[in-house]
Structure 1
């Protein structure tokens, strides 16, 4: 018992670990909540596209001397809107458009970062740096995460209906276009809030795994969201604490834990479905 107590409490004696635990909890909540809508809508590839597309925005923001969050948000939103425009005005399917657009923007970002003298470490951008989060970064990310979470909580029913059945939502008089672009904007903001902690690559997993786990283990949206938030926050806290003790990269360890939860949920769901069919 004493060993477990010291295992959990020892990290709290360090300021950087306190900040890491706080920000990991905040991004765990906002990513898991949005994950439910993303999985329900079938926008997993969109999350991947937007997260990679923020890279040139980060580089341009550094050159312009403006906060990287602004550049990342602008680039992510541009990718999301551009995908919708090209989908509606070309014969190419949406998945192909997203693949071309986000890979092109990602490559452009890599070119810009290699030509610009910057103190921003590329690996930190790609994979995050939870343990290097400053108080300013924590406040910035926390503010964005809180705003996004509040909006999703208030508009939960409208967003859920739009993601589940857009045609039915239109019949009920809901503003479909506003919800569509609003969801894209929230996606870009969610990625920005988790950018410095999880990086543009690992944030994709944090935006998909919690919702997928909730989808596999529950039959109602509210329970799906509760499971997603619980799993995400636990994974973030456990990954941060364990990484401190074993001296491992924090964000990848968080994703590993979430992946293990997903595998467990997949096995449990498959077993339950098999049992139900056998008893039918």
Structure 2
């Protein structure tokens, strides 16, 4: 058993992949908890696909593609907020419009600019290609986002559960919204190489939803979600190593498996436990 656990650690690429997987497993559920509570879970998917135009332009201009991704993500958040507040368009329609338009623009720019950006890696991730520099960058993003969440936890908590009340007492709700969107974008950027944008929403929402079925407080949901995210990430890496299959889908499917267990056996909300109590 010990040899089974230690063998993958003999390879540098596995050590780097596991380190990034742990960081992403912590970061995604903590940020995703805010989206779940606000019933904005699909916003993570919208933001994930909205970074593509920024990636294409940054790659063409030969600047850091992460800068382009961040700018593009923030612009999409501005656009969704503007459509919600200044028009009769509902939030789900606004997200659908931005999602499809930004993703189509990104594909068009990749063609027009003749970029050689690895679209498969962008969509599905390449965690086994993670370098030590990627680990350091992910660690810095994780530390910065978690520090900001800790500093502004009370304000974000109030805004998440009662945005109108937060506005009434004078909290800068627009700044809180954009700050949260910046955190979502940074989380997506940190996760792109791990699971790719197609699967990043599963890590943003899956572990947090599992925790939501098991606990009641937001801080408990964040903490338990982080634990579940780490378990899914590490377990998925080991499964992908020994079965020689892609790591991103393994991580996501294990996260989904844990969600199914919580859905069935949660003490307060489980389908089977509720039947037993009846």
Contact 1:46 1:80 survives alignment (8 Å): no
Shift of the alpha carbon at 1:197?
Answer: 1.4
- Deviation string for 1:195-223 (max 9, x for gaps)? 12121111111111111111111112222
Q: How many Å separate the matches in 2 of 1:5 and 1:117?
A: 49
SS in 1 for 2:30: helix
After superposition, residues 1-280 of structure 1 pair within 5 angstroms as 4-268=1-265, 269-276=270-277, 278=278
RMSD: 1.5
- Shift, 1:8, TM fit: 1.0
Instruction: Give the match's secondary structure for 2:213.
Output: helix
Cα distance in 1 for residues equivalent to 2:116 and 2:131: 15
The structural deviation recorded for 1:7 is: 1.5
| Per-residue deviation, residues 113-155 of structure 1 (Å, max 9, x unmatched) | 2444444321100011000012222222221121111111222
State the alpha-carbon separation in 1 of the partners of residues 250 and 127 from structure 2.
11
Q: Cα–Cα, structure 1 residues 156 and 270, in superposed 2: closer, same or farther, change >3 Å?
A: farther
In structure 2, distance between residues paired with 1:69 and 1:168: 35
Question: For residues 8-51 of structure 1, what are the alpha-carbon distances to aligned partners after superposition, in whole Å with 9 as ceiling and x for unaligned?
Answer: 11010000001000011111111011111111111112111111
State the distance in 2 between where 1:115 and 1:12 align.
Answer: 43
Measure, in 2, the Cα distance between the counterparts of 1:33 and 1:177: 21
| Distance (whole Å) between structure 1 residues aligned to residue 138 and residue 159 of structure 2 | 27
Which whole-Å deviations, capped at 9, do the CAs of 1:35-92 have from their partners, x for residues lacking one?
Answer: 1111111111211111111111111110011111101111111111101112222222
Unmatched runs of 5 consecutive residues or more in structure 1 = none
Once the two structures are superposed, what CA deviation does each residue of 1:160-205 show, in whole Å capped at 9, x if it has no partner? 2211121233344422222111111111111111112121111111
In structure 2, the gaps of 5 or more residues are none
**How many angstroms does 1:96 deviate by?**
0.9
CA distance in 2, matches of 1:90, 1:242: 48
Q: Secondary structure at the match of 1:69?
A: helix
4+ runs of 1 displaced by more than 6 Å? Answer: none
TM superposition score normalised by structure 2: 0.94
Whole-Å Cα distance in 2 between the matches of residues 250 and 174 of structure 1? Answer: 42
How many residue pairs are counted as aligned between the two chains? 274
